[in-house]
């Protein structure tokens, strides 16, 4: 069994296996028989991934996918690893021992026989419908532990252990530790294991039943009477899409439990994997999806980031505009916070190309029987080679400027079987290897975006989350300058000297330590931006007036059919404040207060526009790389622009430099601090900054 660990190398991470270091750069497919592991090996990729399934169900409860490969867990202590063995042979045929490695993505959802044998351990919705296992089931954890140890024993007995330096633990919807649901209005988990766990959580929090009753406005006789909030209590908030924490502490507490217990389940599974591998190998998981709503269970990510049982995190890019061209693909979670905790974040680059085909054609045996969800536009790639290369370069540029890990995810196989696409992959693998071995380069984003997991405890419905996150991230993508995203749990550890603009996205609760840390940001003419229908005068200094009624938030009427509703809130402008927008009654809802050492921007909207982000960056003296609404990424070594439209693009840099195309070697003509480039919609130019 190889011994492995994650190594920090400057701004980058490397994987060390038996003393030898390699880049965290890989390739994976759901269908090894149609994939191109050999082609990627020839392109210089030596870290591979593949799906391995304990259970016998499809990975997506919502879509109804059928199994991709046969599951190996046939009964208590009974296994059939023949499909796993077959896939390993396909992937590693022609591979070199000690050079090429395979990390199994071990999907540990239990099979149907286990569910039939353990009806009391299943997740339930409010009607009692079972939806796989409960994450609060100790029986599930105990049985999974034995299965993991037996899987490791098979790896050793079969000889495959010599090729496996670690595991990617997968569970939940689409293998991504997302709590399961089968339709948008299904609420879980109403099982007895979950109820008992919530009661124990509440007892640990409040100590005595009197304190709990006071907080929840209840008259429970004991903690054994604690139940899960009803769907109605979870669906609606007293202040529109926000909850009043004083009136709805019961529901707010439930969501804190719901997220913390889910994080603990992920940690427990990774710790079991650590035990099974003798504590000598890297273990990771999909987790920390800030993009998801409060029902996902993903919003106590700091627990996972701080755990020594988890060595790496992972996620795909966001699916903004169905992964369209001309738009930024944000990270789904805080890769920056993970790095602060010494953990690399693998980006799953499932980048569609002109060769991508629907699963109904590539894997008809796994396609949903009736549902056409996998024929929808999000699964389509660009129509031609040029568009495909533009998407691939965009993903690569985002990865390398943020120093993340990556695997290219050739989902159904065959997406990259083109000489030109593989020529890109050969160059990209070399560039990434050299970059990581040289220690990476510091991201040059002037914007720090701070997200707060706890706000998800206090919102109702999914639209607040989607607009607070998805729309905010999309807008920032068009600002012409990059941003770095951190979780508020790590705010005190973030160095303000690296940033000019800080954006606090619906951050409602501030610890005393965070308030003190904020004072370090209120210097050197920075701009601090605060969003959301919240009374934040204790950190902004901007007083508010609240009303009794509810109303659509600023900008909502013009941007969507279902506007977000929240408590009426008006900002109290003082002499010298710049009011940027008002409600229909003339009250301020967006303003800037210019102080001696910094400027404070406040809006009651949940997001800021691209124009606003660009304006605030300029006001703070931050670098803007392009001014035409295109997507920009930058580090100390690279700048990349992805065109949101056809036309001439001016790419500016903060120093006298030659800008050289990373892939062609062409030095672009310019005036030393900017170049003008003719680009087509969806085209990406990634340039190396060579100071003069």
pLDDT, tens digit (0-9, with 9 covering 90-100), for 617-631: 999 999 999 999 999
pLDDT band for position 578 (cuts 50, 70, 90): very high
- Mean pLDDT over 397-410 rounds to 99
Residue 323 confidence (pLDDT): 92
d(CA 535, CA 545): 9
Residue 544 near residue 588, CB atoms below 8 Å: no
Residue 107 confidence (pLDDT): 97
Q: Is a pLDDT exceeding 90 seen at residue 672?
A: no
pLDDT band for position 560 (cuts 50, 70, 90): low
Q: Is a pLDDT exceeding 70 seen at residue 520?
A: yes
Q: Which residue has the higher pLDDT, 668 or 557?
A: 668
pLDDT tens for 317-345 read: 999 999 999 999 999 999 999 999 999 99
- Mean pLDDT over 133-141 rounds to 97
Question: Residue 470 carries which DSSP code?
Answer: I
Residue 313 near residue 670, CB atoms below 8 Å: no
Residue 12 confidence (pLDDT): 98
d(CA 69, CA 83): 7
Residue 465 confidence (pLDDT): 83
Q: Is a pLDDT exceeding 90 seen at residue 61?
A: no
Residue 279 near residue 300, CB atoms below 8 Å: no
Residue 482 near residue 632, CB atoms below 8 Å: yes
pLDDT tens for 456-510 read: 999 988 788 888 888 999 999 999 999 999 999 999 999 999 999 999 999 999 9
Q: Which residue has the higher pLDDT, 491 or 584?
A: 491
Q: What domains does the chain contain, in order, with CATH numbers? A: 4-184+264-437 (3.20.20.80), 447-614 (3.40.50.880), 631-691 (2.60.40.1180)
Structure tokens at 546: 């609240």
d(CA 339, CA 316): 17
Count CB atoms within 10 A of the CB of residue 128: 9
Flag the least confident range among 557-566, 641-650, 683-692: 557-566
With helix as H, strand as E and coil as C, how does 175-228 read? CECECCCCCCCCCECCCHHHHHHHHHHHHHHHCCHHHHHHHHCCCCCCHHHCCC
pLDDT band for position 587 (cuts 50, 70, 90): very high
| Main-chain phi, psi angles of 17, to 5 degrees | -125, 115
d(CA 528, CA 74): 56
Residue 38 near residue 93, CB atoms below 8 Å: yes
Count CB atoms within 10 A of the CB of residue 161: 17
pLDDT tens for 443-464 read: 999 999 999 999 999 998 878 8
What's the whole-number average pLDDT of the chain?
96
Q: Is a pLDDT exceeding 70 seen at residue 557?
A: no
Gyration radius (Cα) of the chain, Å = 25
Flag the least confident range among 386-400, 456-470, 555-569: 555-569
Residue 636 confidence (pLDDT): 94
Percent of the chain with pLDDT over 90: 88
pLDDT tens for 599-612 read: 999 999 999 999 99
């Amino acid at each position: 069994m190889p011994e492995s660990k994650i190594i920090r190398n400057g701004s980058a991470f490397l994987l060390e296996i038996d003393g030898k270091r390699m880049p965290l750069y890989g390739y994976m497919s759901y269908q090894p028989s149609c994939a191109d592991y050999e082609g990627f090996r020839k392109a210089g990729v030596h870290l591979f991934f593949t799906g391995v399934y304990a259970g016998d169900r499809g990975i997506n409860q919502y879509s109804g996918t059928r199994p991709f490969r046969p599951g190996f867990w046939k009964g208590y202590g009974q296994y059939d690893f023949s499909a796993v063995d077959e896939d390993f042979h396909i992937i590693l045929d022609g591979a070199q021992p000690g050079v090429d490695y395979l990390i199994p993505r071990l999907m540990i959802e239990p099979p149907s026989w286990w569910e039939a044998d353990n009806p009391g351990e299943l997740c339930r919705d409010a009607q009692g419908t079972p939806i796989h296992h409960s994450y609060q089931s100790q029986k599930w954890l105990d049985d999974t532990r034995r299965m993991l140890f037996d899987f490791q024993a098979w790896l050793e007995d079969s000889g495959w252990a010599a090729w496996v330096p670690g595991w990617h633990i997968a569970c939940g919807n689409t293998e991504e530790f997302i709590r399961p649901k089968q339709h948008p209005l299904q609420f879980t988990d109403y099982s007895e294991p979950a109820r008992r766990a919530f009661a124990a959580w509440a007892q640990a929090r409040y100590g005595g039943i009197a304190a709990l009753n006071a907080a929840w406005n209840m008259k429970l006789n004991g903690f054994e009477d604690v139940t899960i909030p009803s769907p109605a209590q979870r669906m609606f908030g007293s202040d529109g899409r926000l909850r009043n924490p004083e009136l709805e502490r019961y529901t707010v507490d439930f969501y804190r439990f719901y997220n913390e217990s889910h994080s603990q389940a992920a940690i427990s599974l990774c710790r079991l994997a650590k035990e099974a591998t003798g504590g000598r190998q890297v273990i990771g998981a999909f987790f920390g999806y800030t993009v998801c709503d409060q029902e996902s269970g993903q919003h106590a990510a700091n627990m996972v980031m701080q755990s020594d049982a988890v060595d790496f995190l992972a996620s795909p890019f966001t699916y903004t505009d169905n992964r369209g061209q001309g738009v930024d693909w944000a990270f789904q979670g805080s890769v920056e916070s993970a790095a602060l905790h010494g953990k690399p974040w693998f980006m799953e680059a499932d980048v569609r190309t002109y060769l991508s085909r629907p699963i109904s054609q590539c894997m008809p045996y796994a396609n949903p029987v009736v549902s056409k969800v996998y024929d929808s536009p999000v699964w389509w790639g660009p129509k031609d080679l040029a568009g495909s290369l533009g998407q691939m370069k965009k993903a690569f540029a985002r990865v390398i400027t943020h120093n993340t890990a990556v695997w290219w995810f050739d989902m159904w196989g065959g997406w990259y079987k083109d000489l030109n696409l593989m020529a890109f992959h050969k160059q990209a693998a070399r560039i990434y290897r050299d970059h990581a071995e040289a220690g990476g380069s510091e991201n040059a984003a002037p914007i720090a975006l701070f997200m707060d997991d706890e706000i998800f405890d206090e919102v109702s419905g999914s639209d607040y989350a989607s607009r607070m996150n998805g729309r905010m991230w999309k807008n920032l993508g068009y600002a012409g300058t990059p941003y770095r995203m951190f979780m508020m749990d790590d705010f005190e550890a973030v160095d303000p000297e690296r940033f000019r603009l800080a954006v606090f996205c619906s951050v409602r609760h501030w610890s005393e330590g965070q308030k003190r840390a904020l004072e370090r940001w209120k210097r050197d003419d920075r701009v601090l931006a605060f969003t959301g229908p919240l009374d934040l005068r204790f950190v902004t200094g901007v007083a508010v007036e609240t009303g009794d009624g509810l109303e659509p938030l600023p900008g909502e009427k013009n941007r969507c059919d279902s506007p977000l509703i929240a408590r009426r809130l008006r900002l109290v402008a003082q002499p010298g404040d710049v009011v940027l927008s008002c409600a229909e009654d003339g009250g301020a809802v967006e303003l800037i207060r210019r102080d001696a050492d910094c400027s404070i921007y406040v809006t009651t909207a949940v997001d800021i526009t691209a124009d606003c982000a660009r304006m605030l960056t300029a006001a703070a003296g931050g670098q803007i790389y392009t001014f035409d609404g295109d997507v920009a990424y930058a580090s100390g070594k690279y700048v990349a622009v992805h065109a949101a439209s056809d036309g001439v693009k001016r790419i500016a840099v903060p120093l006298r430099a030659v800008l050289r195309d990373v892939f062609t070697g062409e030095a672009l003509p310019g005036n030393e601090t900017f170049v003008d480039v003719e680009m087509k919609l969806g085209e990406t130019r990634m340039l190396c900054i060579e100071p003069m």
